[in-house]
Every structure is written in structure tokens, then in C-alpha cells.
Structure 1
Amino acid sequence: MVALCSIVRLVLFAAVASAAPRRRHPNFPPKPSIPQVVAPDTPVTDRQGVTLPPLSTVYLFDQLIDHDDSSKGTFKQRFWTSWAEFEPGGPIILMTPGETNAAGFTGYLTNATVNGLIAQATNASIVLIEHRFFGLSNPIDNLEDESLALLTIDQATKDLSYFANNVVLPQPNGDKLSPKEAPWVLIGGSYAGALTSWTLVNQPGVFWAGYASSGVVEAITDYWAYFEPIRQNMPKNCSADIEAVITHIDSVFTFGTPAAKNQIKAMFGMEDVTHLDDVAGALRNILWDWQSLQPYVGPNATFFQSCDALEVKNGVNAPASGWGLQHALSAWGSYFKNTYLPAICGDDNTEDCLGTYNATQSFYTNTTIDDANRSWTWMVCNQVGFFQEGAPLGWPSLVTRLVQPAYDERQCSLMFPKAFPKAPVPQVAATNQKFKGWDVNLFRLFVANGKQDPWREATLSSDFHPRSSTPSQPIFVGNGFHCSDLLTQASIDPTIQTVQNAAVATISNWLLQWPGRKTNAPTLTVPTAPAFVPECGPRGGSGCCDAGFWGGPAGREGG
């Protein structure tokens, strides 16, 4: 990995996308995924100068199909690994990129990511493993409802444990590196960050330490608060005008005449979209682009281009209050119709592109493998929710209130009609009870979150349920976006560099405590975790949001 350093910084970072990839369906919310980082196809050597296999080399592990019934046999689970930094006595870092084909994430084997920084500091090997029912790691060779019954959080946590306890790694003495013989560190971001926490809860004693970046540990059905960090941190003029337009559209779509409704549909290029909730819901897309931002992304990012279309008039920027409804409605409509809509729909007609009511469309019926959106939707409908809707009445909303959980739950029935003859309510209460959600208390779990992360409200740094940092479960919050702390390029923001330095020092010190560890390495100084101040209240400020808008226990259970 040392030999990779200069190449990595010149080539690898260019592979980290600054714009969100096209989603499979523009009215399906984005997944809580880590940024994609692909390693360059260049030679890799270890610390002794020995050439190692390319980082793209795929290895296969015989994973149990069903951890509750071993008689069902095994399937081939893909993994990738690098032992470029490994020294005898070093730890094993295990990471899954979560709900995606893992082939595009080999950069997490290098020092372009925090995994590599920790490996360099602790003489570790890094292993990247593909999640069951994503990519080409499938217990059953289709994504039918019956097959996906084996796609659960419980099975996923047991996959990681079984792998650690049984894998023979393809490095020297790879059969002598089980958790009994070497300390294992589990690292994950976003959903996989939550999976890190959930695995330490559900499979105690296997992993010596964990690192959860932007970990969405609390399952939430009506996750309207996805848009709160965006509202809090985006340009004020843009949020003011978007809120004004959405309020107007909701009013017209609810109370207006057919002619008025059709006028708005035509203004945004969606006159052929049948259902008004699909029309209004499609406008969430420019907000979803926020998830692709990182500190090194410049003003040409899609999100900022969208705001500029609303807020720059004749070369002049709008004041913080925005230009107001009349200009914003016209400007957003023109931009969406002529620029944005063609980008997300391509050659598809707008009903096929944006409509969600036709059960015969391929995004509902296709059950072939390597369809991350289908597999993730299964988990959403069953266990985690995360439906991204309009805010409650009385709270400023950048998103239409025509889209409520019933909108998404209906789609669950269309995609999985055998499993859900009627629209389901995700069992988030059971998920949070089993895996502890916001209330988790673990020993040796490092937690990193970003102030500007749209998924922050489901993490341990939520405005609605903020947790205090402790020595055994430290929580560091930088000024980053989604999983920024995983990317070394994001260290251009000093607050993120502090998080990364703290992660390396904390994990290093915890590894010194492993009973079998033999090293003369000194204890490292860990930066103090700055206090996180929630930005609650409908217009910001310090008033903390609680049961009044979040819904209290009922809200956490899917209300």
C-alpha cells in the first residue's frame, strides 16, 4: 500500500463520483450507501517489496445460506483483500460496502480511505466482503419474494461473524488469523455503519472493535427528517424559494381546479404523469442530489446548479429570503423541464420514468440478481423503513406532503405481491428493540457523523435523540456530508481530519488492549470529541425537537 500512495492520490480520487449516479427509478429514494471508490489497476506490493495480487482479484467464501438451518448448505460470497500493510501480529479490518455490488469499492482496500490509514498505523490486512443478495453473492440465484426471506439484518450480522470465524485468508498464514488468533475490526458506513453497530450487538465477542461512519442505527418509517440537515445547511435563499414553491404546489394539487393542476404539471414538463403525488414527489430529486456532496466537490455539482437556476437572476444572487414564489415557480419549472428531467429520464416518457402505480413495469417485476434497488427495497419494506416524505404540518417542508408512508408502502406491495398482498408497515420497532437503535451502548465502537449528512437524523448524532460521547463509545461529528470521514480526500476540511485522526488513534489504542497483542507501539493521543449542538426547531436554534414533531415512541415505531 505504501507503493500505491502517489498513484492513489492522482488516480483513485478521480473515481470518487461527485455527482449522484442515475437512480433506477426517480421516485424511489436513494439508498444510505457509502461513496464509491475504485482502486486503480496498478501493481501492489507489501512492505518487503513483494508483488501482491491485483486489488480487483475476487475470492470466494462458502457462506451459510441460512444461519438458522445449516442443512440448507452454502453459497459463494465474494470478497477482496489486501495485506500490503500487514505485519505478523497485526489485526484484520473487515468492511462491507453494504447494499450494493461490492466490485466498485476496492478503493476501500487502500489509503484513499480511512481503512488504509488505520491499516498503515496498525499493520493490518483489509478485507472487503459483499453483502448477501447484493452483487453476485446470492444465497439463491434470484430475487423472488420467497428467496429474499433470507435477506434480514440478523442473517447479515451472522454472515460477518461466520466469515471472521471460518475464512482462510489468501495471505501467508491466512489460516491462523481467526478472531481467537488476531483482533478483528469491523468498519462500515451508512447502512453498513449501522450494520457494524447491529453486529456488535447481535454477535458479541467476535469483533474486538468497530467503526460506524454515518451509521443509520435507528430504523424509522416516516423519515421526513432526511431533509432536515439539507434544509439547515443549504443556501438560505434556495431553501426559502423551494419551500414557497412546494407549499404552493401542495395547495393547488389539494384544492385547485383541474386546469390549475394541469398548468403546474405542464410547467415542470410532467403533463403526461398521471398521479399528482408522483408529480410532486419527483421534485425531491434535486434535494436527493445533496447526498452526493463532499467537501472537495465544487460549485458545479448538480445540487448547486439546481439552486443557481432558482436564485441567480440576470447575474444577481437572490437575498437570503429568496426571490419569492412567482420567480421561483417559473425558474424551477423551466430548469426542471428543460434540463433536469431529460437528465433523469433520458428517452423514457415521463409516466414510465416517474410513475409508481403500474405494477407491470420492469422495476417491479424483474427478479434477476444484482439489482441493488430491489434487494434494498425488500429491507426497507420489512425492517428499516426510511421513507423520505414531507415534514409534519407546522414544520417547514422542502418536500411535498402529498407523499406519505402509504405512498411507499403501496410500492412494497407492487414489488413484492406474494410477501405483501396488502401494503405493509415496516417492523421498525422490532428492529430497534433487537439491535438497540439510538439507545445502543457498546464497548469499543467508534462513531463518526457529518453535520451536513442527510442521514444524520437516524444516527447517534440526531437532533431528535442526540447521544453524548463516551470513552468506550466515542462520537465525533465533523462538518462533513455522508460518510465524509471514510475518504482521505475529505480531510481538506480540518474538522473531518480531526475525526480521521481520532479514529486512527482510538482504534490503534483499543488494539493495544487486545489480550494476545504483542507490540511496543506507544499509546496515541486522541483528540477530544467536540460537543455536538443539535439544530432543532423549525427555523433552527437550540430548541430540541422531541415528541411534538418526531412523534415520540409512536414515531420511532413507524407512525
Structure 2
Amino acid sequence: MIGFIRLLQFLALLGWVSASRSRNPRSHVNRAPHAAPPLVELPESGPVVSRNGTQLPPYNTTFEFDQLIDHNNPSLGTFKQRFFHTWEFYEEGGPIILFTPGEVSATGYDGYLTNSTINGQIAQQQNGSTIVLEHRFYGLSNPYNNLSVASLQVHTIQQAIDDLVYFAQNAKLPMPNGDNVTPDKAPWVLIGGSYSGALTSWTMVNKPDVFFAGYASSAVVEAITDFWQYFDPIRQFMPQNCSADVQAVISHIDDVFTHGTPAQIQTIKDNFGLGIMTHLDDVAGALRNNLWDWQSLSVTSGPHAQFFNFCDALEVKNGVSAGKGGWGVDHALTAWGSYWNSTYYSFVCGNEDAETCLGSYNSSQSFWTDITVDNSDRSWTWIVCNEVGFYQEGAPTDWPSLVTRLVQPAYDERQCTYWFPEQFKTAVAPRVGTTNAKYTGWDVNIDRLFFANGQRDPWRDATVSSDFHTRQSTNSMPIAVGDGFHCSDLITSGGTADSTILAVQTKALGFMKEWLSTFKPKKTLARRDAPTPTERIRKPINAWLRGVPTITAV
């Protein structure tokens, strides 16, 4: 494929590990990938040592913070929220850099404490301390011991925002002078990628004057119900021959599934080994899996990236690659089916039958009802169904489409009633209008907030770099775009491999240096002007003092 060798070399240099979407045959896989930042491998090194020579706890040392269960009702008490922390680069007066990985367990994200990431680069440059805080209802940071609908009532964007603010204003960090670095005394920098990048923007909009600066990578700030645009950057940047053939096959399948005879329909189902499946939208929708693999290009190294294998299967015939127009629907349909049957189905579904793995109409299956903690699919789907949407469907009829138009938002909204029947008696659209109105979406306008995006990011059109909503970069709110994929700029090696990503990182470091030089401590805590819920309920003063949040190492 033209340009693939160069791209493969780029990916190999990144050395990333995927956290965005695992292939677990025991879970339902006919659904979109999460929007989480990639994991990063820790550099092989000796003990962690501060700049003054003090040996520090290992990066993976887990600490716990007493976080409020419900910021609207502090009388419900607290839960243990996990975080990782180091003051490897810290010097007095330096910033506190707070990162949450968002909709995944924080286990393994301790690499974001180090200069293998933009977090650590900022800390190293500015003499800062780094923190990775686990998001509520992910990993082991759960207000309750299950993910039932009753428990999830306190799983909202606003509660997550309030968690970040409450942590910054109350945490006593396990480092010298760690009880004296609240946002009135030291500058806090909030960093996130993808959903947590959006959370960075939303927090700075909703709770101004807490975080002095922010860095939002691939931040999906605009909640969108019918997010068909997810596939458009893929169409723009994938090999043209592969794009042409995928569009041709999908158009043919949609036509046959809509107007064809039972025999014609069965022939296509059998072509992909999906003959036993009942619902045609499930069959056509399952083929989105091959396109979703594009997202893993931002975090997958080496020559075995599934998306490359897929395009090669369609476009290389007898050792010859197709021209820009592809081979045409007859060859591509057969080749896609052959690849799906020989390689891809087992990769996606393991030993499960197609209906169990890819069907979406049997509400009795266990993946709908698993309420055990650390089930990130369930926790994320709750936010999707209620507040952000991001349903990844076929494009409008006047726009080229890589995926079936038989799958539309109603397909996903129906599934919300299976996941959360107590919440959704009937299928309803997520409240994206409320989310965008409250947190300003694409129209965010906040000082000292740096946005970093990638041209090849499938989530790009939900960011401030969307093709469908033009925003201009300013010195107070810069927007930098490189040639990377999803959250490419978060990882230091992304800049090593690609000069455009390095330019984004360099620009960010320059702005952080400029902004942080202007920070001036406040004489009094900003929160004293508006007491926190905890302060309002903890009276008299001696009782309040006994209730100050504590931090423990686990």
C-alpha cells in the first residue's frame, strides 16, 4: 500500500500500548471504542529520585483520597479515590499537574507521571509535581460496590468536574509542603486526552479560577448524538484504493439488505460467515469493527496493526496493489469476506457464535447486566446514553460513507434500554443539548487553555478542530494541530517520530512557560468566599477539622 511502510515506521517508533479498546470475546463487541488516552510504557530505570537526591516512592505507588460521594449532598459521606503521584521534578513554587485518564481504570497510567508524556515534560520544564487521578466509577474508585442504576445516579459529568475541583482544593499531597499547594498558593495545570481532554475544557468553563492553565488533547468538547463524522477523517487519510472499495462494498450491502431478495441477502451474510444472524443492521453494523481499528493506529506499534491487514486483504491481489479506484465491489466483497472468515472473526469473537458476539437484540445476555465494579464499558455507556451520545453511524446520503446507513442513533438508543432498563423505560436521545449549553462545547472561550489535535484523529470533528465548526487559534486559547492520530501529542515519543507532533508539544511548552510565569498566589483561599458543601455541613469547627479529607498510601 502506498505510504504504509513509512507509516509503519512511524508507529513502530511510538512504542505505545493500546488502552482504547480491548478485544474480549466475552463482551459485546458490536459497539464503538472508548475515547480514552493511550497507555504509555514506563522507561526502564532505577529508583525514582527527586532533584535534591531524595529517593521517592515508585511511580505505581497507589494513594487514596477521601472524595465526596455526592457533591450536592455531602452528608452521604466519602469514598476512596485512587491516585498516583510523584514530585520527581518538583521545586518550591512549581505547578501541580493533574491528569485523569477518564473512562478507564487508572491502573497502568502511572507513566503519565513521567517525562515520557507531555505531563512530565511540563513538570520537568516548570519544576512541577505530577498526579494521575482515577475518575469516579472506573477502576477501583467507586462510591458504591456496584454499577447498578441506583449507584450510577452520582456518575455524571458535573460530579466528575466537582471531583477534580474538590481534590485540588483539599488534597494534602504526599510530598514536602504538600499541604500548602492548593490552587490559591500554587498554579494547578489540568491535563486530559479525549473524554478527559473534554473534561479539562468543561471543568475550566464550569469552575473558572481553580485551574490556572489547561492542556486538552483530542478533546471531544462537543457532545453529538449522531456522530457519523467519526469515520470522515478515516475516509480522508486511509489509502484511497481501500476507501473506494470499502465505500463500494458498503453501498452494495445496504442496497441488497434494503431491496434484495432473501437469497441475495443470505449470500452476503454467508460471505462474512454471519449467516445465522437475524438482524441485518447487526450484520452490516458488525463491519464497522474493521474501521474502528483505525483508532488503534494512535497506540499500536509494529506491522501487525489490524487496519493495515484489512486494507492489504482488500487491495493486494497476486502481489499487486490496486490503483486509487480500488479493484471494485466484486473483488472487494469477496476479499473482505475471506479476510473476515480466515482471520478477523476469531480476533473479534474468539469461539463465540456470531449472534452472541455481534447481535444486539438479546437483552438477557450478561454483558447488559454485569454491574460489577471496574466494568468500564458499563460506566462509559452510562455517560454516552445520558449526556454525550457519540453514536458512530453511517453518513447522510449526500456524504460518502465507510459504514452502513442501516445503523442510526435509534439502534444505539434501543441498547441503552437493555443496559439500564430502570433508567430508560423507552429509548430516548442523550441530553447533548444540555451538555453543550452548560459546558459551551465547540464555543469554549477560556484563557490559558491549550488545545492539541491530530489531523488523522477519528474524533477530530468533536474537537475544536472540527471541519464542521471553524475556530481560530489565539494566544489566550491556542489550538495546535499536527499530523497525528488520537492523543498522539500526549506521548513524548510521538514528537520523536513526527516533527508536526513535536511542533505541537514545543508550542505547548512555550505557552505553559509564559502562562505559569504570571501566576501570583492569592492572599486568601478563593473557596472561602463561597464555602464548599463540606464546610457548610461540618459544624462546629472542631467537627469540621476531624472531617478534613485524608490521603493514605495503599
One fold, TM greater than 0.5? yes
1:126 and 2:130 correspond: yes
> How far apart in 1 are the matches of 2:32 and 2:16?
23
> How far apart in 2 are the matches of 1:394 and 1:12?
39
1:225 and 2:225 correspond: no
1:134-533 equivalences under 5 Å are: 134-294=138-298, 297-491=301-495, 492-516=497-521
Q: Is the 8 A contact 2:113 2:119 kept in 1?
A: yes
User: Quick one: structure 1 residues 420 and 137, their matched pair in 2 at CA, closer, same or farther if it must change by over 3 Å?
Assistant: same
Letter in 1 for 2:448: R
Counterpart position of 2:82: 78
Q: Is the 8 A contact 1:268 1:333 kept in 2?
A: yes
> How far apart in 1 are the matches of 2:99 and 2:358?
34
> How far apart in 2 are the matches of 1:186 and 1:284?
34
Q: Is the 8 A contact 1:20 1:289 kept in 2?
A: no
Letter in 1 for 2:442: W
> How far apart in 2 are the matches of 1:245 and 1:27?
19
1:29 and 2:32 correspond: yes
How much has 1:286 moved relative to structure 2?
Answer: 1.0
> How far apart in 1 are the matches of 2:97 and 2:199?
15
1:60 and 2:61 correspond: no
Deviation digits for residues 340-378 of structure 1, max 9, x if unmatched?
011110011111100111111111011111000000000
How much has 1:47 moved relative to structure 2?
Answer: 1.2
How much has 1:40 moved relative to structure 2?
Answer: 5.5
Letter in 1 for 2:296: S
Counterpart position of 1:520: none
Q: Is the 8 A contact 2:192 2:200 kept in 1?
A: yes
Letter in 2 for 1:496: I
SS of the residue corresponding to residue 103 of structure 1 reads: coil
SS of the residue corresponding to residue 107 of structure 2 reads: helix
Q: Is the 8 A contact 1:101 1:372 kept in 2?
A: yes
How much has 1:300 moved relative to structure 2?
Answer: 3.1
How much has 1:196 moved relative to structure 2?
Answer: 0.1
Counterpart position of 2:530: none
How much has 1:298 moved relative to structure 2?
Answer: 4.7
> How far apart in 2 are the matches of 1:200 and 1:26?
34
> How far apart in 2 are the matches of 1:12 and 1:418?
47
How much has 1:273 moved relative to structure 2?
Answer: 1.7
Q: Is the 8 A contact 1:385 1:428 kept in 2?
A: yes
Letter in 2 for 1:498: A
User: Quick one: structure 1 residues 299 and 354, their matched pair in 2 at CA, closer, same or farther if it must change by over 3 Å?
Assistant: same
Letter in 2 for 1:443: D
Match of 2:101 among 90, 97, 100: 97
How much has 1:218 moved relative to structure 2?
Answer: 0.1
> How far apart in 1 are the matches of 2:245 and 2:203?
43
Deviation digits for residues 490-520 of structure 1, max 9, x if unmatched?
1111000000001111111100010139xxx
Counterpart position of 1:16: 17
User: Quick one: structure 1 residues 318 and 19, their matched pair in 2 at CA, closer, same or farther if it must change by over 3 Å?
Assistant: farther
- Bigger mean CA deviation after superposition, 288-297 or 250-259: 288-297
How much has 1:18 moved relative to structure 2?
Answer: 9.5
Q: Is the 8 A contact 2:277 2:283 kept in 1?
A: yes
How much has 1:21 moved relative to structure 2?
Answer: 2.7
Q: Is the 8 A contact 1:187 1:210 kept in 2?
A: yes
User: Quick one: structure 1 residues 474 and 306, their matched pair in 2 at CA, closer, same or farther if it must change by over 3 Å?
Assistant: same
Q: Is the 8 A contact 2:20 2:36 kept in 1?
A: no
Letter in 1 for 2:100: T
Q: Is the 8 A contact 2:30 2:286 kept in 1?
A: yes
Counterpart position of 1:535: none
User: Quick one: structure 1 residues 299 and 13, their matched pair in 2 at CA, closer, same or farther if it must change by over 3 Å?
Assistant: closer
> Any gaps of 5 or more consecutive residues in structure 2?
1-11, 523-554
Deviation digits for residues 304-352 of structure 1, max 9, x if unmatched?
1100000000000000000001100000010011100111100111111
Letter in 2 for 1:516: P
SS of the residue corresponding to residue 80 of structure 1 reads: strand
> How far apart in 2 are the matches of 1:16 and 1:366?
26
Q: Is the 8 A contact 1:267 1:330 kept in 2?
A: yes
Q: Is the 8 A contact 2:86 2:129 kept in 1?
A: yes
1:111 and 2:115 correspond: yes
> How far apart in 2 are the matches of 1:149 and 1:139?
11
Q: Is the 8 A contact 1:380 1:426 kept in 2?
A: yes
TM-score by length of 1: 0.89
> How far apart in 1 are the matches of 2:319 and 2:505?
40
Q: How many residues align?
A: 507
Q: Which structure has more RCO (C-alpha within 8 Å, separation ≥ 6)?
A: 2
> How far apart in 2 are the matches of 1:195 and 1:20?
20
1:45 and 2:49 correspond: yes
User: Quick one: structure 1 residues 390 and 12, their matched pair in 2 at CA, closer, same or farther if it must change by over 3 Å?
Assistant: closer
User: Quick one: structure 1 residues 295 and 33, their matched pair in 2 at CA, closer, same or farther if it must change by over 3 Å?
Assistant: closer
- Bigger mean CA deviation after superposition, 87-96 or 508-517: 508-517
Deviation digits for residues 102-121 of structure 1, max 9, x if unmatched?
01211111111111111110
TM-score by length of 2: 0.89
Q: Is the 8 A contact 2:94 2:129 kept in 1?
A: yes
How much has 1:94 moved relative to structure 2?
Answer: 0.1
Q: Is the 8 A contact 1:18 1:297 kept in 2?
A: no
> Any gaps of 5 or more consecutive residues in structure 1?
1-10, 518-559
> How far apart in 2 are the matches of 1:223 and 1:296?
24
How much has 1:405 moved relative to structure 2?
Answer: 0.2
> How far apart in 2 are the matches of 1:419 and 1:19?
27
Counterpart position of 2:551: none
SS of the residue corresponding to residue 210 of structure 1 reads: strand
How much has 1:17 moved relative to structure 2?
Answer: 3.5
SS of the residue corresponding to residue 52 of structure 1 reads: coil
Counterpart position of 1:545: none
> How far apart in 2 are the matches of 1:190 and 1:406?
25
SS of the residue corresponding to residue 437 of structure 2 reads: helix
User: Quick one: structure 1 residues 18 and 323, their matched pair in 2 at CA, closer, same or farther if it must change by over 3 Å?
Assistant: farther
SS of the residue corresponding to residue 162 of structure 2 reads: helix
> How far apart in 1 are the matches of 2:16 and 2:118?
16
> How far apart in 2 are the matches of 1:20 and 1:414?
21
Counterpart position of 1:87: 91
> How far apart in 2 are the matches of 1:347 and 1:106?
34
Counterpart position of 1:532: none
How much has 1:48 moved relative to structure 2?
Answer: 2.0
> How far apart in 2 are the matches of 1:281 and 1:92?
44
SS of the residue corresponding to residue 336 of structure 1 reads: helix
Q: Is the 8 A contact 2:48 2:88 kept in 1?
A: yes
> How far apart in 1 are the matches of 2:387 and 2:427?
14
Letter in 1 for 2:134: E
User: Quick one: structure 1 residues 15 and 390, their matched pair in 2 at CA, closer, same or farther if it must change by over 3 Å?
Assistant: closer
